[in-house]
Amino acid sequence: MSVILGFAIVIALVLVSGVGLLLLRLWLLRAFRIQARSWVTQPQSLGLFPERRRITTRRHKALAASFFLPHVGAPVVVMVHGWGANSSHLLHMVPRVLAEGLNTVVFDARCHGLSDDDGFASLPRFAEDAEAVMEVLRRRGYGDIILLGHSVGAGAVLLVASRTPNLRAVISLSAFSHPEPMMNGWLVERGIPLRPWGGIINRGVEWFIGHRFNDIAPQTTVSLVQAPLLLVHGEDDDVVPPCHLRVLAGANPRATVLTLPGVGHNDPEGFARHSDLIMNWLRPYLPCRSPLKDIHSRDTGTV
């Protein structure tokens, strides 16, 4: 009888655990569902006329992408937007990039903008989508690539760069250092106590996305980036505070740090206002080198 009772208890625990995981998955799908977000601008309003493409990414999903390739043979800047945003949030930077003699591509990650839904979005899926765009560019003969990402998109480009050799450069805008403090802040905002729920939910998210936070954390991947790296952060960012920037800079002492006064987190026009500083940093790493002022400080935003 005791053996049967023990077996019954095991079965009951398995069933309860299975139901618990199912309920957690459903809650996470609902909690992190990307809400519709309006377009910041349209390419035509900036004098841009893209080649629009649908690109197949993982799980046979399609991405909506806009190609700006006027400069034959020049490097391509692949831009990756942040969580809940879309490709239009980076369009304000495109004219300055094109004026530098570079090409660029912007796209909507899965579950965002005009791209296919895929149940949920995650930093690793942002990275997979960027790699799908890069593969299409390589097949078209554009293998000289610069990665630029914002927020979660910045985390994604750091993940891509950590496992991709021979990138020309990497530019991170407003990256967080680790998912766990960001998740904890999200839970606190919603009145969910960190004890005991914080640890349970964070481990559930890891199970849900199929990756451990420590493995995909920007503070982990940034140390593996071999390409020239620029870490940019707005001084007025109250979503991802500048303390995250200091952690990332400490993890990769080779990186250049650029802080932007008067720029917040979701501030596409703010970053565009300082695009000359970003291009000045990038110029020595381009095929045709140009004079560049000495970098006076890693921390003042002066390049």
Q: DSSP of 242-266, one letter per residue? A: THHHHHHHHH-TTSEEEEETT--SS
Q: Reduce the DSSP state of residue 229 to 3 states and report it.
A: strand
- According to DSSP, the β-strands at 103-107 and 62-68 are antiparallel
pLDDT, tens only, 227-267? 999 999 999 999 999 999 999 999 999 999 999 999 999 99
pTM of the model: 0.85
Chain centroid to CA 85: 11
pLDDT of residue 37: 64
Count CB-CB contacts under 10 A for residue 115.
23
| Separation in Å, CA 267 to CA 134, 168, 263 | 26, 26, 6
pLDDT of residue 159: 98
Closest by CA position to 104, among listed 131, 80, 129? 80
Percent of the chain whose pLDDT exceeds 90: 71
Better-scored residue on pLDDT, 302 or 277: 277
Give me 285's structure tokens. Answer: 């790493």
Q: CA 292 to CA 273: how far, in whole Å? A: 19
- For the chain, which residues make up each domain, given as ranges? 1-30, 46-178+217-285
Q: CA 182 to CA 175: how far, in whole Å? A: 11
Name the CA dihedral angle for 129, 168, 219, 189, rounded to a multiple of 10 degrees.
-50
Q: Which amino acid is at 240?
A: V
Decide if pLDDT at 8 tops 60: no
Better-scored residue on pLDDT, 29 or 61: 61
ω before 196 within 30° of 0 (cis)?
yes
Sign of CA dihedral 62, 125, 150, 280: negative
Give me 32's structure tokens. Answer: 């992190």
State the DSSP code for 46.
G
Decide if pLDDT at 1 tops 80: no
Q: Which fold has domain 46-178+217-285?
A: Rossmann fold (3.40.50)
Residues in the chain: 303
Count CB-CB contacts under 10 A for residue 96.
17
Give me 180's structure tokens. Answer: 């766990």
Mean pLDDT across 38-60: 93
pLDDT of residue 239: 94
Q: CA 195 to CA 144: how far, in whole Å? A: 48
